[in-house]
Chains A and B, each alone.
Chain A
């Protein structure tokens, strides 16, 4: 087919179309289009933009000073520190896992591969509460492992290690899910070429594979981080809710809210909201860079 510029290709139509006297058979009528766009704007505006607006409005309702005070308050700071610590541990670990698992899946053939991929998707289909529950069952003081840990004086549940573990569980698929389809699509030929030219496994990875996956990797890390910092359900179950000690930012928000300290709750919540917005911005930017809609979700 000729590569002629299809100026009016019916695929993306400007709402403000220069109307011709002829009927356009390939798109909906102008009225229908306007209605659909209006419905979209209304739906997204109501469901998403409004909640966003609420967070910031409520956070600043009593002025900037109250806002700042809510954030620098000791318990809040402790929550922030714990959240950062959790992310700082889970994200790199899950990054290593994600890269390793994707490499294993994309570059080799072995039985059970499909099963492995399904299991990697597991945390996505499991309720966060259940994710927390399984750790409680494993490490709780009534279980064998729990009793042994108690005897050794090691506390996992209702302490920081438990929180970190639960967070790792909930967020470990993110990097892998970004990389697996991409690496499968890219195939193994470049790596094979490198090996045949004498590169070691590590060199191949560093100089051949890594440049090809770096944007997807970055994106996976972004999502992993956003979720690690924002996880609520799973952490809620394993945490013990001890103010100043085992509360992450989301848990702290819950506490403030339940105490009717709304402004402070929204103030702290706004931190994570800003993080979410930054994540989205970076995502848009990254998608333009590596020019592909990710498998995300």
Chain B
């Protein structure tokens, strides 16, 4: 039940100006995969998801679900499970009736009998850990519970593909983490091809088999979380997937790289470049390791979290960040206002 997206284009025509949501996007999702569409607002990720589902229509291009072309199929016949950010539960129906809905609206010749529906719904309620709540109404459920009902409801009709639109966006942090873990487990058990949309890179990295990084209607990179994090295809992907420090520098023909400090200019024969390093890849010392080390003054220390985060300013007033382990931090016993020296262990050049 793989999904193949071929050259999908979508333009929203507004009064006066048009907005290109998707510019010829292509993608292949393998059967049973759990992939994330990750990107900022306006990147086109939700539009793409909705086009796959059939809730929106592309201007050109094709979608294939399980080898079958879907553009002529109305939404009802695509066997898609869709979970909305704000649940979209039927407020006037109980949990049971919500989940049973998809089964009850089937054509008479395809509809299971009452007992079968009852058993299936109750099984699903157990699956999503809402046993005993089948008679409750959505208004009396917590956000996390509602989302689980929404999921059970989508699963009730045995969809070929499961699509989730920022499913945890409306929940608070702790519930979000729990549901993430739970969705991963559910996917491992059921093995349904799943696509979910998020703007939270941590969520994408934690959940997905592969991540599709999108920006302004284009796919910037597709890869496993390790791939997109450690081998970002371009500056956008790098930037989007975590904090970073940016440096100006130049390289010689032989490939040797130097930093530009203060108001230095690129010497003749050298090529101007930008260098990027992650905060946790920065070495911090009290004395300069060598002439490439950069001096910076500590302006803020944030001790909360697994690593100690240090904000600094270099002599051109540029903000730099370093993340140190607790031990390292205590070893250096750094304080606000002190000057230290930075050198990245690992860098990327774009």
Contacts and interface: CB of A to CB of B under 8 A. Distances in A.
Report if A and B touch in the complex (beta carbons < 8 A): yes
Interface of A: 1-8, 20-23, 25-26
B147 to A, nearest CB: 14
Contacts of B19: 4-5, 7
B71 interface: yes
18 contacts: A1-B85, A1-B166, A2-B42, A3-B42, A4-B12, A4-B42, A4-B44, A4-B47, A5-B19, A7-B13, A7-B14, A8-B56, A22-B72, A22-B74, A23-B74, A25-B55, A25-B74, A26-B55
The 10 nearest A-B residue pairs measured at CB:
A7-B12, A23-B74, A25-B75, A2-B41, A5-B12, A25-B74, A2-B46, A1-B85, A22-B57, A5-B19
B41 to A, nearest CB: 4
Contacts of B165: 1
A3 B41 contact: yes
A9 to B, nearest CB: 10
B46 A4 contact: yes
Given A2-B43, A4-B44, A22-B57, 12 more contacts: A1-B165, A2-B41, A2-B45, A2-B46, A2-B199, A3-B42, A4-B21, A4-B42, A8-B12, A22-B71, A23-B74, A25-B75
B169 interface: yes
B54 interface: yes
Question: Which secondary structure dominates chain A's binding surface?
Answer: loop
Interface string B155-195: 00000000001100100000000000000000000000000
A5 B13 CA distance: 9
Given A2-B42, A2-B45, A4-B42, A25 B76 contact: yes
Contacts, number: 46
Interface in B33-88: 41-47, 54-57, 71-72, 74-76, 85-86
A8 B74 CA distance: 16
Interface residues of B, number: 27
Interface string B86-112: 100000000000000000000000000
B178 to A, nearest CB: 22
Nearest to B57: A22
B57 A20 contact: yes
Contacts of A3: 41-42
Contacts of A5: 12, 14, 19
Contacts of A8: 12, 56-57
A23 B75 CA distance: 9
B258 to A, nearest CB: 41
Contacts of A21: 72
Contacts of B85: 1
B46 A1 contact: yes
A4 B45 CA distance: 10
Nearest to A23: B74
Nearest to A20: B57
A107 B296 CA distance: 57
Nearest to A5: B12
Nearest to A1: B85
Contacts of B21: 4
Nearest to A21: B72
Nearest to B46: A2
A5 B46 CA distance: 11
Contacts of B12: 4-8
Contacts of A22: 57, 71-72, 74
Contacts of B43: 2
Nearest to A7: B12
Contacts of B56: 8
A151 B194 CA distance: 90
Interface string B7-35: 00000111000010100000000000000
Nearest to B19: A5
B86 to A, nearest CB: 8
A2 B14 CA distance: 17
A21 B169 CA distance: 34
Contacts of B44: 4
A7 to B, nearest CB: 4
A1 B75 CA distance: 21
Nearest to A26: B55
A116 B72 CA distance: 59
Contacts of A4: 12, 19, 21, 41-42, 44, 46-47
B290 to A, nearest CB: 46
A26 B76 CA distance: 10
A62 B242 CA distance: 83
A294 B12 CA distance: 33
B279 to A, nearest CB: 28
Contacts of A1: 46, 85-86, 165-166, 169
A26 B88 CA distance: 15
A6 B46 CA distance: 11
Given A4-B47, A7-B12, A25 B54 contact: yes
B271 to A, nearest CB: 38
A5 B41 CA distance: 11
Contacts of A6: 12
Nearest to A2: B41
Nearest to B85: A1
A46 to B, nearest CB: 34
Contacts of B86: 1
A2 B56 CA distance: 15
A25 B57 CA distance: 11
Interface string B204-230: 000000000000000000000000000
